[in-house]
Structure 1
Amino acid sequence: MTIPTEAIGSIPRTQKLMEAQRLYDEGKLDSKMMEIAYDEAVVEAVKQFEATGSPVLSDGEQRKTHSFVTYSVEGGDNFAPDGIEIPFQDGHVRRLPRLTAGPFRFIKNAYDTFPLVKRHTDKPVKQAIISVSALSLLYPVDGLPDYSREEFLDDLVDEQEKEIRGCFAAGACKVQIDFTEGRLAIKLDPSGSLLTAFIELNNRVLGRFSDVERQKIGIHTCPGADHDSTHSADVDYSELLPSLFELKAGNFYIAMAGEADPDRALRIVARYLKPHQRAFIGVIDVIDPAIETPEMVCERVLAAARHIPLDQLGTTDDCGFSPFCDDVSTTQETAFAKIRARVLGTAMAAEKLSQEQGRQNG
């Protein structure tokens, strides 16, 4: 028996890469040298991923310069820095840019690193992208005189369809849509109307793909993880999960290790998970600085297996380890040690479950 296991995406940047980015932002490093720094970081991330024994690799989102949310529009001349604020529980705030004029277009794409990654590994590679619902927050509340919200959303959906298809064309085995704002939507609007709008918007994209294609598309949900703090962990999963599985995707990556009552949350997942969907359950708490042992991970997997059918079960990390480039709360060494523990612990649990099945069948 094999239980699939995958990372979410981001790996902490090295000090060397962060220093290069700082110098580039200050105009003290040219674009050619910055590209070299990015390439070196991507190659190193791939090598480190392989060393963990991960069956599926990632580029560690090393090229997503400042943020996993805004990588696709950074450098655009039709944005202002004073967009919506996202508050975290420790008091710090992340601010999104604000669109100032249309049309909306992606400037960079998540699949740009694939040619480089594919030169350094033969293993399957997944790619994480930001959701259209998160990007929809870039449109100003007061609107734009010559570019309606409807026109913006049409362009946004078109751009994400192109990005997903581009990822597959470049060789991605999976495309994972980061939907961290799903849980936050409940906090911002307890009526659920905002969450419903987010689900409908993402389904506009997903509806453009076939059933077969959607089996290679996933949705990631978490309460945020930035500077060891969250933005919506206080929102009950029961308010999110029933709607989450209405998204037309085949895979769901669900933060669980950091939950106060994971057993209750797992029961909710089991209740609403559809037969054609797989739940990758978070077994690594990316906020906890302590490195899980494989035995701890194994117990978390076995706990999940008591609720989720084995043919619909996978494991993952609760979140990316460094969604924003300036987050140095976790080191690369710690992140990869946690990933290795997940890989080993998942295999350990699969062996135990296989032995149990053998005893039952014997």
Structure 2
Amino acid sequence: MSIPHLPARYDHVGSFLRPQYLLEARDQKAKGEISAERLREVEDKAISEIVKFQQDVGLKSITDGEFRRTYFHLDFLEQLGGVTTEVGRLAVQNADGSTSLAPPTIKVVDKVRHAKDIQLADFQYLKSQVAPGNVAKVTIPSPTMLHFRGGRAGISKDAYPELDPVFYDDVAKAYGDELRSLAAAGCTYVQMDDTNLAYLCDEKMREAARQRGDDPNELPHRYAKFINKVVAQKPAGMTLAMHLCRGNFKSTHAAAGNYEPVAEALLKEMDIDAYFLEYDDDRSGDFRPLRYLPKGKLVVLGLVTTKFGELESKDTLKRRIAEAAQYAPLDQLALSPQCGFSSTVHGNNIAVEAQRQKLRLVIETAQEVWGDA
């Protein structure tokens, strides 16, 4: 059974728990106690170790664990020309009396452009560590992040009196430049992480979009056209995947809801090669939205949770794969954890060893369902 696009029937979303020595080095760098060069040396060591971990487990798709990032999206987006980020300050108290940080904000303050190669050096180091026969995967935030978090109000009206088409074209061009720089260095696999389409499955988030002046029914179709502007610039031979996430901060989530409100735009209209969809609990709804999946595309079912250490049973995973196959052909499906283990530097509330157990479960289950492919 051939696999469209991906190196194996099993994959993972990308991030891993940071080792303590890396967290300490980041803290020292923030305090001015070590240089950026010294921090990078520490990151290199940690990345070399996490690459070996992934390969020892049996993964074919290998990432740097996102070990150079604090947040899965901000560290990339703030390096685009015309974009600034502001990490949230202390917010109001939560219902349980605790205090939490407001989400970081992203603002477009000028024309968006590709001011420099953002992931190139990181990819080159990753590729140097990956064994022959495996594939180095780069994860970047979806370009929709530049619009959804702040809406029209988060984008300078001086730079963009009208969003369509100039804003979307500029962002797509910046992403295209980044993809081209990666492709020239030998990158063949890029995954874009997108919370926005998943958030648009949640009525609370849909209402928030309405309050910002956006139509939540129209947004998925607009975002499909937006993503397609990026896909149109994808270098030949590169797989472009998308991961939908409902929030993955310290084992919590931000949204819930069936994929139905976005499924047609996501699966049918968007020209992406593969989709990583969260399906680890009831928050994701049923598999009926997969009926929109056209031939030639792949859905990676995120059936194994990264939020908690308890191990799923193979029988349950196989039953759920069979349920999904009622709506999309089995040969267009694959298996992965539902998200990364550490979408931000803080990490999920899960043991380091649980990462190995979860990934082995994914690999073994996929091999039993699809064979050695």
Greater displacement, 223-232 / 114-123: 114-123
Shift, 1:36, TM fit:
0.6
How do 1:226-265 and structure 2 match up within 5 A? Answer: 226-233=249-256, 235-245=257-267, 246-260=269-283, 265=286
TM-score (norm 2): 0.81
| Cα separation, partners in 2 of 1:229 and 1:344, compared to 1, 3 Å | same
How far residue 185 of structure 1 moved from its aligned partner, in angstroms, is 3.4
Residue number among 262, 266, 277 corresponding to 2:287 in the alignment: 266
Preserved contact between residue 191 and residue 243 of structure 2 (Cα < 8 Å): yes
1:116 aligned to 2:158? no
The one-letter amino acid of 2:368's match is: M
Which range moved further: 114-123 or 183-192?
183-192
Normalising by structure 1, we get a TM-score of: 0.83
Q: Distance in 2 between matches of 1:94 and 1:302?
A: 38
Of 53-62 and 75-84, more deviation after overlay is shown by 75-84
Residue of structure 2 aligned with 1:44, choices 41, 44, 49: 49
Task: Tell me how large the CA RMSD over aligned residues is.
Answer: 3.3
Q: Is contact 2:251-2:348 (8 Å) kept?
A: no
Q: Which has the higher strand share?
A: 2
Deviations 1:193-220 (A, max 9, x none): 333332221121112347x657x21121
**Would the alpha carbon gap of residues 44 and 283 (structure 1) be closer, same or farther in structure 2, given more than 3 Å must change?**
same
Distance 1:261 1:61 in 2: 25
Greater mean deviation of Cα atoms: 76-85 or 287-296: 76-85
Q: In the alignment, does 2:346 pair up with 1:326?
A: yes
What SS class does the counterpart of residue 335 from structure 2 fall into?
Answer: strand
- Offset at residue 244 of structure 1 (A): 0.7
Note closer, same or farther for the CA distance 1:148–1:94 as it changes in structure 2 (3 Å cut): same
Whether 2:46 is the aligned partner of 1:34: answer: no
> Which of 313, 337, 357 pairs up with 2:333?
313
Q: Which of 52, 55, 63 matches 2:60?
A: 55
> How far does residue 98 in structure 1 lie from its aligned partner after superposition?
2.7
> Does 1:184 pair with 2:195?
no
Work out whether residues 176 and 218 of structure 1, in 8 Å CA contact, stay in contact via their aligned partners in 2: yes
Partner of 1:129: 140
Q: 2:173 aligns with which of 158, 161, 166?
A: 158
Instruction: Give, in whole Å, the separation in 1 of the partners of 2:216 and 2:151.
Output: 22
Question: Percentage identity across aligned positions?
Answer: 21
Secondary structure of the residue that 1:155 maps to in structure 2?
helix
User: Structure 1, unaligned stretches of length 5 or more?
Assistant: 355-362
Alignment of 1:171-210 (within 5 A): 171-186=186-201, 187-188=205-206, 189=209, 191-209=216-234
Maintained 8 Å contact 2:62/2:137: yes
In 1, the alpha carbon distance for the partners of 2:127 and 2:156 equals 41
Structure 2 gaps of 5+ residues are: 3-7, 210-214
Could you tell which deviates more after superposition, 327-336 or 279-288? 327-336
**Count of residues in correspondence between the two structures:** 346
The residue aligned with 2:5 is: none
> Residue 13 of structure 1 is aligned with which of 12, 18, 23?
18
